[in-house]
Structure 1
Amino acid sequence: MLLIREIVQQAFTSGCLTVEAEEQLRKLLAKKYDAQDLRAFMKLQQATMSGVVKQESRELLYSR
């Protein structure tokens, strides 16, 4: 299984957090994770709020 920071890196590379990646993050965040993963997740949160990384689920929601 991927680490949180790996999913975050994929989102930054592509510029988009996919619905599938969001689901993986939810599952991983429900388990034990280290400080590096927490920092990566917080960085992703900031990036999605500022529009640096698009959130596919929001794009789908607002495109209807």
Structure 2
Amino acid sequence: MGSVTASSTTTRAEDRGERRQEHVEQLTEKRQEHIEQLRERRDDRADSSTTRTGSHIKN
């Protein structure tokens, strides 16, 4: 009986792990899109304010 519960727990854990993996991948994709949007916005701001700020802003 103990082995049956153990095997059912492992399969449940594996399912949870796969689900978490998919969730992480979705999060990284969203974060990547967000980073790209921020980068584009920063580029626009940099183009408009290069003369004022000069080159002392470093990322």
TM-score range, shorter chain: 0.3 to 0.5
Counting strand residues as a fraction of each chain, which structure ranks higher? Answer: 1
Q: Which has the higher contact order (CA 8 A, sep 6+)?
A: 1
Structure 2 length as normaliser, TM-score?
0.33
